[in-house]
Amino acid sequence: MKDTKRESKKRILRDIIKISGIYKIINKINGKYYVGSSKDIWHRWFSEHKCCLRYDNHDNTHLQRSWNKHGENNFEFIIVEDGIPYNQLLLIEQKYLDIAKTEKHTCYNQSFIAGRIEMTEEVRNKISKANTGKIKKFTQGGLLAQIQSGIRLQKWLKNPENKKYHEEKRILGLKGSKKSDHWKKLMSEKMTGRIYKEKWRKNLSLSQKGKPKPPRTKEHQEKLSQSHRGQKRSEEAREKMRISRLNYINSHPKI
């Protein structure tokens, strides 16, 4: 059976040794180019750039529009430097990107930092527009990753030192954080009228026992006083308050 063209191409690609280096995608008509680096240049060209450009699905919209306008035959792929060690690849790519940055009118690159996307104002706006109105859903893979991450965290927290470190980092991250009035209003509406299960309330009570409470400010005391004024408590609530007060007095004989 004779091989098809696609099968023969795949066989040829398998026989090609991986080439690490710098490459360019050049527009033959206007001379504009895209420069990049890869540990496997031919795989990057055939399986990523060329494939995405043909299916009108490339991340670089500038290059994609130019490809659609001028056609595939008016672009060529060249290797600028090859045989570069992996640990020096990004450093050498950065040199080419620094040159490209000085001649933005002749290149298709949108980011000029090797190895990552440069978050320019244009890129931020594009991401914002692309995500506007989208409803985020958990994909099967994303949900599985979330579950696995949670399992790993629980195992890591079994070590008391790790748990202490995690708690300190969490508290440090919360310090000084300010919530907007809109966020406060949404949370207030969400929590109003919420009924907590007895088990949850018991666990919360146990977790708070023995913890020193911070002193209340005058402003806080005034707010509490105003919120309690005019309230009518049931007989059951009064009895609970009386018992609670008696228990407190018995445990503090100096009062």
> What pLDDT was estimated at residue 77?
94
Does 112 or 254 have the greater pLDDT score? Answer: 112
- Structural domains in the chain (count): 1
Distance CA 93, CA 114 (A): 6
Whether 51 is covered by a domain: the verdict is yes
Span 141-166, mean pLDDT? 72
> What pLDDT was estimated at residue 65?
93
Whether 209 is covered by a domain: the verdict is no
Whether 43 is covered by a domain: the verdict is yes
Span 6-19, mean pLDDT? 64
Does 8 or 60 have the greater pLDDT score? Answer: 60
Whether 84 is covered by a domain: the verdict is yes
> What pLDDT was estimated at residue 63?
93
pLDDT in tens, 98-152: 999 999 899 999 888 887 766 777 777 877 877 777 655 545 455 566 666 777 7
Span 237-246, mean pLDDT? 86
> What pLDDT was estimated at residue 35?
94
Band (pLDDT 50/70/90 cuts) for residue 32 is: very high
C-alpha pair distances (Å), 168 with each of 20, 68, 148, 158, 165: 44, 54, 23, 16, 5
Band (pLDDT 50/70/90 cuts) for residue 27 is: very high
Whether 180 is covered by a domain: the verdict is no
- Rounded to two decimals, the pTM is 0.46
> What pLDDT was estimated at residue 120?
72
Domain hosting 99: range is 8-111
Report the CATH number that the domain containing residue 44 is assigned in CATH: 3.40.1440.10
Residues 6+ apart with CB under 8 A from 26: 32, 33, 75, 76, 77, 78
Is 80 exceeded by the pLDDT of residue 53? yes
Whether 144 is covered by a domain: the verdict is no
Whether 16 is covered by a domain: the verdict is yes
Whether 100 is covered by a domain: the verdict is yes
Q: Which helix (H) or strand (E) holds 22?
A: strand 21-27
Instruction: Find the range with the poorest average confidence among 74-83, 108-117, 165-174.
Output: 165-174
